[in-house]
Amino acid sequence: MTRCQNRFSATLLLLVCCLLLPACGFHLRGSADIAEPLRQLTLITPERSRSQLEPVLRRQLEANGVTLNSGSGYLLQIISESRSRREATLGANADIDEYELTTKVSFEVTDPQGNPVLQRKILAERTYDYDADKETASSAQEQQLYIEMDQQLANQILRFYANLKPATP
């Protein structure tokens, strides 16, 4: 009988938690509520270099219901994108122990009439331990960190865009 009561109590507790979670405002990360006028967007990236951020940003926007490169609606232009790596820590023998990675992005959003509504410069930074004896592993770790930083920056751009207040006609 107590086993049945324990199972019932656990089920009841789980049900109460499931009901209270949305009531507190919790929602899954990655889902943005984008206003209908913002769902048409043209994405422009710098032509002089291949953008590492563009495919990630494109996936984020499309996953949130934004139709890209429609030729109408808002315009999101990536003005500049840069990556850098510098020595963060040196060891006792003046060997590099850590590197600091930085990705900077500057972007602008204009409304359908061509008026700028948002301009931002954002950055993401990561530090990782470097081991000269494991060069391949350190290189793979660096590439993974750049991928994570691109995802973070794309998510930030999406949040800024989703928070725009569309002009009423």
How would DSSP label each residue in 3-61? HHHHHHHHHHHHHHHHHHHHHTT---TT-----GGGGEEEEE--SSS--SSHHHHHHHH
Would you say residue 169 has pLDDT above 60? no
Sorted by where each begins, the domain ranges of the chain are 33-162
**Taking the model in full, what pTM does it have?**
0.76
CB contact at 8 A, 146 and 124:
no
Name the band, by pLDDT with cuts 50, 70 and 90, for residue 29: low
Could you tell me which CATH number the domain at 33-162 has? Answer: 3.30.160.150
